[in-house]
Amino acid sequence: MAKITLQGNAINTNGDLPAVGSTAPDFHLVAGDLSDKGLADFAGKKKLVSIVPSLDTGVCAASTKVFNEKLGGRDDVAVIIVSADLPFAQGRFCEAESTADVTTLSMMRSRNFAKDYGVLIEDGPLAGITARAVLVLDADNKVLHAELVPEIAQEPDYDAAIAALG
């Protein structure tokens, strides 16, 4: 269990992020076309996995736009944004914000991703959705970088995540 804050108030997650050097757990999340997606769908690429509570918040929107801008056009990297938002809302966000270089995936069918990655918020007003976190995986899904953002209202360390991609 990790402790984070929401506007200075302590809340807890169900566990810990996968450790650097470990293999990231596979997942089954929902894409915009309502198909299931897992790590195998991004085989052969490095992956930046940005886990956000909801794209309908300023910080989540900002971080998605920054990763889209800084990593867009890199054929060797898949930028994956995971949130509790429905795929339809994720699609509207990407269209409105011109973030075509990210792949949004939804937890609409299950919270197993949040549980397996240790980011499921267990208490407080955001219980049931995710903490903010960023993982960088190599092409074989080995964790190269893991950041659980300590305060949900803060943006992640973009430079550290991008540096881990090489």
Residue 100: Cβ-neighbour burial (10 angstroms; 0-12, 13-18, 19+) = exposed
Q: Of 49, 60, 121, 161, which is the active-site residue?
A: 60
- Annotation marks residue 60 as catalytic: yes
What is the Cα–Cα distance from 43 to 50, expressed in whole angstroms? 17
Nearest to 133 by CA among 20, 8, 35: 20
* DSSP at 142: B
Read off the amino acid at residue 93: F
Please give the positions annotated as active site: 60
